[in-house]
């Protein structure tokens, strides 16, 4: 018996459609980025930040593996899927503040999907979301104590919503908001997999916060008719 397309399973941090193909691939960085900048947490007024790390901490502009794989790239179907709408899942991913850093640095959610914002540090943080698209509203949420938890969602798609902490100026995170569950974030080796994509022709975009900024990401068209491999090369300007 054929299982309906809308039957879904929770898999890790995402939704997997039982019927459909997987799009997998790798994102390679072409060029040599500038060295990352050392974050001097030890001299910060907030001594808990420096005490949370036994090794030096740097920015995360370009995390590149030995073979050039680029981490923290948001890969998603930019063109529409042949379905009118996808319900926001009940699953609530987390944006954490740990060691005076946002974790993860890049993540994705669906429109109207609630996600958790947690303070795992014994110090004050504030979560300052800076959206610019549609009905998404800016907010500045103070979290004063360890374990404090809030929930938020975004009503409009946006690539990407920037989050910052006004208390600790080196803290940033980026959240991609899309209307469907077909997205992924590259791992430390630049690999990604998008699960359960219906067959069809799509534009796939790979967006890196530092490279692309306010500009569109790297895009290419592909036809999905079974499991599909799509690789990207992002070139430093």
CA-to-CA distance for 40 and 24, rounded, in angstroms? 38
CA-to-CA distance for 79 and 26, rounded, in angstroms? 20
**Along the 237 residues of the chain, how does pLDDT read in single tens digits?**
333 343 333 333 344 444 689 999 999 999 999 999 999 887 667 788 988 999 999 999 999 999 999 999 999 999 878 766 789 999 999 999 999 999 999 999 999 999 999 999 999 999 999 999 999 999 999 999 999 999 999 999 999 999 999 999 999 999 999 999 999 999 999 999 999 999 999 999 999 999 998 888 999 999 999 999 999 999 997
Q: How much is the pTM?
A: 0.90
Nearest alpha carbon to residue 127 among 166, 91, 99: 166
* SS3 label, residue 56: coil
Name residue, tokens 């036809």: 223
Helices (H), 140-212: 209-212
Nearest alpha carbon to residue 7 among 16, 227, 90, 200: 16
Asked whether 69 and 186 are in contact (CB, 8 A), the reply is: yes
Omega before residue 104 within 30° of 0, cis: yes
CA-to-CA distance for 203 and 177, rounded, in angstroms? 17
CA-to-CA distance for 229 and 183, rounded, in angstroms? 14
Task: Report the CATH superfamily, name and number, of domain 8-235.
Answer: Cupredoxins -  blue copper proteins (2.60.40.420)
CA-to-CA distance for 11 and 40, rounded, in angstroms? 38
The dihedrals phi and psi of 91, each to the nearest 5 degrees, come to -60, 140
108 token code pair? 């994705």
| In the chain, where the domains are located | 8-235
Give the count of beta carbons closer than 10 Å to the beta carbon of residue 171. Answer: 20
210-219: long-range contacts at Cβ-Cβ below 8 A with a sequence spacing of 24 or more? 210/61, 210/62, 211/236, 211/237, 217/73, 217/74, 217/159, 219/78
CA-to-CA distance for 194 and 182, rounded, in angstroms? 6
CA-to-CA distance for 178 and 156, rounded, in angstroms? 8
């Amino acid at each position: 018996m054929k299982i309906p397309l809308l039957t879904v399973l929770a898999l890790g941090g995402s939704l997997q459609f039982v019927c459909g193909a997987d799009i997998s691939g790798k994102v390679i960085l072409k060029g040599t980025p500038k060295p990352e900048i050392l974050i001097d947490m030890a001299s910060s007024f907030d001594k808990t930040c420096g005490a949370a790390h036994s090794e030096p901490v740097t920015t995360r502009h370009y995390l590149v593996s030995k073979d050039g794989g680029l981490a923290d790239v948001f890969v998603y179907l930019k063109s529409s899927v042949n379905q009118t709408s996808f319900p926001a899942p009940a699953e609530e991913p987390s944006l954490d503040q740990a060691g005076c850093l946002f974790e993860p640095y890049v993540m994705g959610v669906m429109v109207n999907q609630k996600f958790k914002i947690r303070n795992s540090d014994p110090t004050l943080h504030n979560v300052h979301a800076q959206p610019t698209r549609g009905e998404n509203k800016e907010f500045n949420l103070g979290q004063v104590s360890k374990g404090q938890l809030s929930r938020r969602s975004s009503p409009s798609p946006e690539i990407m919503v920037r989050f910052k902490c006004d208390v600790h100026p080196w803290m940033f995170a980026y959240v991609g908001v899309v209307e469907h569950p077909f997205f992924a974030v590259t791992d430390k080796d630049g690999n990604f997999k998008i699960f359960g994509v219906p067959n069809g022709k799509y534009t796939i975009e790979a967006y890196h916060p530092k490279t692309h900024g306010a500009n569109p990401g790297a895009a290419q068209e592909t036809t999905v008719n079974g499991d599909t491999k799509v690789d990207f090369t992002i070139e430093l300007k």
